[in-house]
């Protein structure tokens, strides 16, 4: 009984700051230990022969769009994470046809037939209205895209459910999931608890503006790329910082250093097309809505999110081999088809 209670406390503190004054835990994502999210990269992981071209593409996007440094989504276009107990009442979430496709996806509605949403839950700001519900006791999580609470109940335009989370590889079944790649938020998001603890122990997801059309790399199982250029970066591609790069000797904001060390050890994956080059951090809406202090005031220490990555070594990135880490036969259509959410 005692180990189970301790385990639940640890899981809780991954995503929810421990407000008793103790340091929040910083563990791997809740997916399988063998998931690519949680597996450190070997020093000699093979690189793509076109690595330098892909990296130059990312650097150009960083330098010419929005902040010139890259950004960390904190208050909008990144989800709040609700880790809920087993007694949270489940509610039915309906499929809203926000893209005017003219039909309701019964597969999506079956996944959202009973979701334990807290009564005070709110999606993120911005047009994506994202939200994550994770229930450790049932081993299930749900990602919402354009989620909304109406008078008659909850709706979501898209998203998905993962069952048996602790044994999952951390990829939604095609074509579900809130990101364009079918990769869940909990895999690559930076949580408040991790930032408070000083360590991020998993791979990170990142969105860029210009993604390649017509193709994607594992672990993505779909994409919404739009650039018809073979030198454009594809969704699902994985990058890392060199294992021998001395990050401690570089002048970086502490949060940027944490991110860089995670990218060096676990890598990053292009998981979406966005309005800028940016990582996703846990949205503090669930904390602020309770009247508690915004944790990012202390975490960022007065630095705007768009300046955190000012000294991040983007130029030092390396592109890993295509489909790196996939231990099955290469996927075949429809997994290579364009899916626009």
Does pLDDT of 19 surpass 50? no
Q: Which range is least confidently modeled, 22-26, 37-41, 126-130, 261-265?
A: 22-26
Residue 172, in any domain of the structure:
yes
Residue 183, in any domain of the structure:
yes
| pLDDT confidence tier of residue 102, bands split at 50, 70 and 90 | low
Give tens-digit pLDDT for 285-311. Answer: 999 988 899 999 999 999 999 999 999
**Number of separate domains in the chain:** 1
Residue 326, in any domain of the structure:
no
Q: What is the mean pLDDT of the chain?
A: 87
Give tens-digit pLDDT for 126-172. Answer: 889 999 999 999 999 999 999 999 999 999 999 999 999 999 999 99
Residue 336, in any domain of the structure:
no
Q: How many residues are listed for the chain in this entry?
A: 341
**DSSP annotation of 204:** E
Rg (CA), the chain: 19
Query: How far lies 280's CA from each of 98, 125, 127, 163, 227, in Å?
Result: 24, 14, 16, 23, 23
Residue 20, in any domain of the structure:
no
pTM exceeds 0.75, yes or no: yes
Start-end of H helices in 71-216: 106-111, 185-188, 192-197
Structure token pair of residue 292: 């508690």
Residue 3, in any domain of the structure:
no
Residue 324, in any domain of the structure:
no
Give tens-digit pLDDT for 173-206. Answer: 999 999 999 999 999 999 999 999 999 999 999 9
Of the candidates 162, 74, 158, 66, which has an alpha carbon nearest to the alpha carbon of residue 124? Answer: 74
Percent of the chain with pLDDT over 70: 87
Start-end of H helices in the chain: 2-15, 51-64, 106-111, 185-188, 192-197, 254-265, 285-288, 296-300, 305-308
Cα separation, 267 vs 41, whole angstroms: 7
Containing structural domain, residue 214: 26-319
| pLDDT confidence tier of residue 23, bands split at 50, 70 and 90 | very low
Residue 325, in any domain of the structure:
no
Cα separation, 58 vs 106, whole angstroms: 38
Of 180 and 4, which is predicted with more confidence?
180
């Amino acid at each position: 009984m005692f180990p189970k209670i301790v385990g639940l406390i640890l899981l809780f503190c991954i995503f929810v700051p421990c407000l008793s004054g103790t340091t929040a835990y910083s563990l791997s994502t809740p997916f399988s230990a063998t998931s690519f999210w949680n597996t450190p990269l070997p020093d000699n992981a093979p690189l793509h022969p076109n690595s330098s071209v892909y990296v130059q593409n990312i650097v150009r996007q960083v330098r010419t769009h929005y902040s010139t440094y890259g950004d960390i989504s904190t208050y909008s276009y990144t989800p709040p994470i609700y880790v809920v107990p087993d007694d949270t009442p489940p509610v039915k979430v309906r499929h809203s046809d926000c893209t005017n496709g003219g039909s309701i996806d019964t597969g999506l509605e079956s996944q959202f037939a009973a979701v334990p949403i807290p009564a005070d839950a709110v999606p993120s700001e911005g047009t994506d209205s994202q939200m994550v519900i994770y229930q450790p006791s049932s081993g299930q999580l749900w990602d919402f895209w354009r989620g909304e609470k109406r008078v008659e109940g909850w709706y979501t335009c898209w998203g998905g459910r993962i069952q048996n989370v602790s044994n999952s590889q951390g990829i939604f079944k095609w074509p579900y999931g809130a990101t364009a790649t079918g990769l869940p938020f909990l895999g690559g998001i930076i949580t408040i608890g991790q930032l408070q603890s000083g360590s991020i122990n998993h791979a990170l997801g990142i969105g860029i503006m210009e993604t390649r059309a017509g193709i994607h790399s594992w672990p993505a199982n779909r994409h919404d790329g739009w650039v018809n250029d073979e030198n454009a970066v594809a969704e699902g591609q994985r990058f890392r910082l060199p294992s021998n790069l001395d990050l401690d000797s570089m002048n970086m904001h502490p949060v940027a250093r944490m991110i860089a060390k995670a990218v060096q050890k676990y890598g990053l994956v292009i998981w979406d097309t966005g309005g800028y080059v940016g990582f996703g951090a846990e949205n503090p809406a669930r904390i602020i809505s309770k009247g508690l202090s915004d944790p990012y005031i202390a975490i960022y220490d007065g630095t705007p999110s768009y300046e955190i990555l000012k000294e991040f070594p983007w130029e030092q990135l390396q592109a890993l081999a295509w489909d790196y880490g996939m231990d099955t036969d290469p996927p075949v259509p429809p997994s290579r088809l364009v899916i626009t959410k």
